[in-house]
Amino acid sequence: MSLYSSSVKRPVTVILIFVAVIIIGLFSLQKLPIDLYPDIDTNTIMVMTTYQGASAQDIEQNVTRPLENVLNSVEHLKHITSKSRENISVVTLEFEYGYDIDALTNNVRDKLDMVSSMLPDDSQTPIIFKFSSDMIPIVMLSAQAEESMPGLYKILDEQIANPLARVDGVGSVSISGAPKREIHVYLDPIRMEAYNLSVETIASLIGAENRNIPGGTFDIGSETYALRVQGEFKDPKEMANIVVGVSNGGIVHLSDVATIDDSLEERAQQSYTNGNKGAMIIVQKQSGANSVEISNKIKEIMPSLQKNLPSDIQLDYIVDTSDNIHNTINSLVETVLYALLFVVIVVFVFLGRWRATVIITLTIPISLIASFIYLYATGNSLNIVSLSSLSIAIGMVVDDAIVVLENVTSHIERGSAPMQAAVHGTNEVAISVIASTLTLIAVFFPLTLVTGMTGVLFRQLGWMVTIMMIISTGAALSITPMLCSRMLRLRKKEDESAAFKKFYAPIERALDALDNGYAWLLDMCVTHRWKTSLIALGIFVGSMFLMKFVGSEFFPTSDNSRLGITLELPIGTRTEIAESLARQVNDSWQKKFPEIKVLNYTVGQASSDNTFASLQDNGSHIISMNLRLTDPGERERGIVEIAELMREDLKHYPEFKKTLVNVGGSRGSSMSGQSSINYEIYGYDFAETDSAAQRLKRILEGIDGCADINISRSDYQPEYQVDFDREKLSLYGLNLSTAATALRNRINGSTASYYREDGDEYDIKVMYDKQHRQSIEDIENILLYNAAGQGVRLKEVGTVVERFNPPTIERKDRERVITVSTVVNGRPMSEIITEAQPLIDKMDKAPGITVGISGSYESQQDSFSDLATLAVLIIILVYIVMAAQFESYTYPGIIMTSIMFAFSGIVLILLITGTTLNIMSMIGAIMLIGIVVKNGIVLIDYITLNRERGMSIRRAVVDGGHSRLRPVVMTTLTTILGMVPMALGSGEGSEMWRPMGTAVIGGLTFSTILTLLFVPTMYTIFAFNGIRRKRKKMHKALAKKNNANK
């Protein structure tokens, strides 16, 4: 017994099965985590190797190159890049997407074992470091403080960081901008000299005094007692009384040669929020944890955390990634609901019957909700991709139900009882319903096979739509006939209420007029079939010529209300100067841009224990800003416009050497933010590549649409070096390392011991007083002591010279490289590339220097070629499905001509709306392959049916067109209107799918209009040719027969 006849006979079972599906679906929906994108596997591994004391060039030669040579042979490697700077080599391996990162890590580890013997003896074992998106902070909080500033670190660490770290899923919480407590012992070198004391002696004395030593146990009578000396300082002030020496019979206390300062770290990052000093708390998640859930929990405990803080500390959000996720998801949910509404309206207008409308629209929630089960079962989340899949599918899941319902209705109108009509009506169309679903699956299933960055996005889309289509077909063949058998009645005209008639009559008249008008036009086209074909082909070819006016880019820029700004002063600028400039910028922007909700900036060198800050560029001359704007709906200016105004504004500050304004928070992240083009200059010689980079920068500056041009190689860093004379050193009984260590202890300070209080440890640092380490003379006058206790001035054994330290050496694919990157602003990326390329080719450059392009452009090229291959595969699959359905080679060919018009339509609408061709509009085009052929299938199917019933070719075509116009227009309209909310959406994140909606609407509208005229015309041409051939054959056969008879 078939699915539909058993469904009609067992309505209770069918209803309950679908109720169960809906309940499980809703249950899954409730459990589904929310995220912005589907899980993205990491594809990057870093190998870090330290080699203390080696310069950038030494590191490059001795560490980076051997590592690169070996690691280059790891399979699936896409690019190998490296940075060699003083003391450290970082090799970054970028793999092709879609491979198991753990297996790749093991391969890398094996290769590292092979190379370890080739590395210098003193270099450390290379460390493997997997980079993942989890390192991107999910929440950044600011804490503004006044009186509590000195103790802020401890307060935040205990009251905020610890409770936050206990939240499920939080990976690490770091605090920046709140300096830690440190106890300084500032020594006066002049007094020390007088008492014949050295920094080392004092440091070791402090260490020796500040100790608790257990003395073992001893017995008194019948008891055993522990013995111990509790010598640790209970107050830093106690240190003042330490005896550090004897001079002229008197005792020298520490307070005689030093001041003890219980304060904060000398060099720390400072963080300001909206101009007020405070700290920044950065929360990173554990890998695989859900950002929205974590952020919700943080939001929940925030009020109680705030309550425990001293009253002058104010907590506020700088960045909450979940805000963006929430807003984006909400605007998508809105889109899905609008799409639903539009589809229901279309169905009602065309069918004019509420019962039929209810039956058809029921398939929408069933298929949509069932897809949540898939998401839950496979551990996916509600994200941009899964939700936009729903929006795409809404218009298509009703198609099968419409076909079934229409045929059942025609059976009822012929006189069948609804029960029988439902079974037999469904039976007749079941095959074609399944075939049309197969054509769509032929389009969407291959999407699940895409690899690479685009694969991450489209795999889920492919699965979701495929599953929804299968479920909707299942529903159309089971619950739809069941409901038809129960709900549909033979409708008599006189049964309709007067109000309904009044409302529906004009619609009916308009639809009739449309049918007749189309039949007339089709008749004209079929009469002038060669002319029609030529015009249609002309339109197609013409539109392809317009293609070159459509710009292309990788991903549309989305407005997530976040800006990341990096401002660089000349290298070596003091933090105080950077701070005052940052304040100026802050004050002027707060006035100029009322859209700024929070402006946070950080200056100064990050301490090494701040994981987040040390991953970013930092230094005393760098100002990094994080801005949060008001929600996109609440402001007039878009984020790109604001970014552009900021870039303009920054030009008024000549102090800045480099300014970077990054939309979306960071540059070059593939899915949000503005696209960037990276020109890579390969060449060994520093000077030559530097000058090529400068020239390239000037070329780009002259091109409209390039903003924020940045050269990756930083300036040579000025520094003072002490050149010791080894002979002189040995004369005084010193060696280089004792001398250098002594230098370090005096300037950087040496950690003598730790001061313990309330379970926390604070460094006790011994160093020269600030006023004695401010000039080169101070350095030259440093006294170095030898083992015999004799002192010698540094200037007698060495000289202080100013030198420039070579910058970080960057390499890519085993060659030295400089990257000149530019943000694409207000112009399609492809236009900039075509304008810049001839200039770059003409550019003067030394032999051996080559220029390549990477960044968004490279990803775009990769993805576009992937998608083009995919399109070809899909076209072949769709052809196979159709050829099987019609058992013909020609009909599918005729039907597929509608794909040409879909592409024409896309080109036209992209031109008209000024949209660029990007990944999203490409994917729209690919989806269209399946959607537009459905119209052709419906038409050709009915025309062949008419011919099989004995009509002439022309009548079959015109009559077929006339009677199939409504179903074609109806299913097309449901799909188009389902996309309209996507194409017009203005919510957060809508920039992302707007191009896709636009492409589908343009392509489908244009193709449907032309398909309705061109496909029947082509059919006529082929059918007449077929008949002519048959006649010829017959004539020949007859002639043969006649000859034989003669």
Residues 6 or more apart whose CB falls under 8 angstroms from that of 604 comprise 267, 268, 269, 270, 575, 578, 579, 618, 620
Sign of CA dihedral 333, 338, 340, 343: negative
Local structure of 794: helix, strand or coil: helix
Least CB distance to other proteins at residue 433 (A): 13
Nearer Cβ to other proteins (270/480): 480
Nearer Cβ to other proteins (9/180): 9
Residue type (1 letter), 889: Y
* The dihedral formed by the CA atoms of 419, 421, 424 and 427, expressed in degrees to the nearest 10: -100
Least CB distance to other proteins at residue 1020 (A): 19
Nearer Cβ to other proteins (330/420): 420
Nearer Cβ to other proteins (78/955): 955
Nearer Cβ to other proteins (426/915): 426
Nearer Cβ to other proteins (3/873): 3
Nearer Cβ to other proteins (376/942): 942
Angle between helices 384-414 and 990-1045 (to 10 degrees): 50
Least CB distance to other proteins at residue 427 (A): 8
572 φ/ψ angles, rounded to the nearest 5 degrees = 90, 0
Least CB distance to other proteins at residue 551 (A): 47
| CA separation for the pair 443, 886 (Å, rounded) | 19
Write out the H or E segment, with its range, that includes residue 261: strand 258-264
| CA separation for the pair 774, 792 (Å, rounded) | 20
Least CB distance to other proteins at residue 402 (A): 18
**Beta partners for 720?**
802
Q: Tokens 């080109």 — which residue?
A: 907
- Among the listed residues 287, 291, 321, the one whose alpha carbon sits nearest the alpha carbon of residue 130: 287
| CA separation for the pair 507, 509 (Å, rounded) | 5
| CA separation for the pair 160, 163 (Å, rounded) | 6
Angle at the Cα of 573 from the Cα atoms of 571 and 576, rounded to 5 degrees: 150
Least CB distance to other proteins at residue 633 (A): 53
Q: What tokens does 669 get?
A: 């992240």
Nearer Cβ to other proteins (410/527): 410
- Cβ proximity of 821 and 668 under 8 Å: yes
DSSP 600-640: EEEEEPPPTT-HHHHHS--EEEEEEEEEEEPPGGG-SS-HH
Nearer Cβ to other proteins (421/752): 421
Local structure of 85: helix, strand or coil: strand
- Among the listed residues 696, 695, 681, the one whose alpha carbon sits nearest the alpha carbon of residue 849: 681
Angle at the Cα of 858 from the Cα atoms of 854 and 860, rounded to 5 degrees: 145
Nearer Cβ to other proteins (101/490): 490
Residue type (1 letter), 1025: N
| CA separation for the pair 883, 890 (Å, rounded) | 8
Local structure of 670: helix, strand or coil: coil
> Interface residues with other proteins (CB under 8 A)?
411, 414-417, 419-421, 424, 427-428, 944-945, 948-949
Least CB distance to other proteins at residue 12 (A): 19
First CA to last CA distance, the chain: 60
Least CB distance to other proteins at residue 991 (A): 47
Least CB distance to other proteins at residue 417 (A): 7
Nearer Cβ to other proteins (419/511): 419
Least CB distance to other proteins at residue 934 (A): 18
Least CB distance to other proteins at residue 4 (A): 14
What number of H helices and E strands is found in the chain? 32, 30
Least CB distance to other proteins at residue 631 (A): 56
Nearer Cβ to other proteins (415/759): 415
Least CB distance to other proteins at residue 488 (A): 14
Least CB distance to other proteins at residue 887 (A): 10
Nearer Cβ to other proteins (69/432): 432
Nearer Cβ to other proteins (320/941): 941
Please classify residue 10 by burial: count the beta carbons closer than 10 Å to its beta carbon, then call 0-12 exposed, 13-18 middle and 19+ buried. middle
Considering only the C-alpha atoms of the chain, give the largest distance between any 2 of them, rounded to a whole number of Å.
152
Q: What tokens does 171 get?
A: 């990976």
Q: Tabulate helix, strand, coil % of the chain (nearest 5).
A: 60, 20, 20
